[in-house]
Structure 1
Amino acid sequence: MANYNPYENMLDVLDKAAQVLGYQKKDYEFVRYPERELTVSIPIRMDDGHVEVFSGYRVQHSTARGAAKGGIRFHPQSDENEVKALAAWMTIKNAIGNIPYGGAKGGIRVDPHKLSKRELERLTRGYVRKIYPIIGPDKDVPAPDVNTNGQIMAWIADEYAALSGSWQPGVVTGKPLATGGSLGRNEATGRGLLFTLQTWCERNHKDIRNLTMAVQGFGNVGSGGARLLPQEGVNSPPSGAIT
């Protein structure tokens, strides 16, 4: 896994899918390359007075269908290849869902659990100042992702407003309700899992109440699904079945 490159993996999957669908390379060659890649350095004064510099990324894979759209993750292993791959997957997901957005993704190489709240806010605002020229409601709309949440999205919206001179809540999704967020947004991915499972059961003549679930990972999808699926009758695994 040391040599694993997520962007090379995306390209491999893309080529295999295109082959199955009967496409020639010339039909999708442009999808193999992101429109824009931005790498930035973000110097932050830490609470004890010393300065650390963090690497940040924002990749816009495609705007052919509309403004770029994609999350921002804070993770110590985030890098340009991961962000490029995730931006490409966002392009494909939006196209499959016929959603009028393109694909983008962002990240900062950092372990946010090692930062204080004040340091995290400085880092977030510093990142926005560096990517400000390429984001906006009609250009590129960030969102929460791994280790980012509504508070971080609120900081992004506030910093963007300070830079642009006007409050534009459409610059970012996943904000708290008090700053123009959408009711049910946090549970949306888990609810999508529920809808997908319900549709699968209907098509395969299965009773959802006869299913047993196990949850791997407890982010937005896993935690939301763990709360919503039992409400529809999905059973939890027997005690001690999972270690």
Structure 2
Amino acid sequence: MAYQMTFKRYELKYLLNRQEKEQILLAMEPYMKLDDYGRTVIRNIYFDTDTFRLIRRSLEKPVYKEKLRIRSYKPVKKTDPVFVEIKKKYKSVVYKRRLQLPEEKVMDSFQTGEPLPVHSQIGNEIQYFRDYYENLHPSVFLSYEREAYYSLDGSDFRVTFDENILYRRNDFSLGSEIYGFSLLGNDQTLMEIKTSGGIPLWMSEVLTKQHLYKTSFSKYGSAYQRMLAESLQGGYSNV
């Protein structure tokens, strides 16, 4: 039986420089701890139509938007587990549906167009998504280095820091090396606050003190905009 998980939460994003990150980490020390994975490299394959319908719609900032990706937290082999995820956002609330299956079964499904070998509600949602959009194919490979912190009070409050965010349009393999074009400056970090409730007072205070304000930053959206700029300059011809 495939491992399944559902999330419902708010995700707030902030672009930090190195000094701002250090101040946030200092404030977090009494309240949060780095998870057991430490600093990991996350690999993602995003799927879209030939016309990039999904990401173009997302960049219009609609009330409802969705995306489909395959993700791993390490370089994988055929028998290693990977995650198939549908991520939806409705009125600022993020909903994530996730299945875990061996890499070989997942890639075979997407290459042949056959359904995933899972009979479940989440499996049905993923299949409906694929049928609705038709002809989905790998569009962007995105990787980044992540540090994830969890709250010591037992709540679901989490903070992640993503750096070295890279994208490319080839070599769609979750077992491949990490390389590509950078989406952030050398001194930049993307911080995400993830919670189903409110932000703790101590975090609100440090954000206010550092004059940090949430921003709209989509990794896939930023990669698409870079690719679009390249195509206008005579680079990528199929964007």
TM-score, scaled to structure 1: 0.23
Greater C-alpha Rg? 1
Greater strand proportion: 2
Greater helix proportion: 1
TM-score, scaled to structure 2: 0.23
Larger relative contact order (C-alpha < 8 A, sep ≥ 6)? Answer: 2
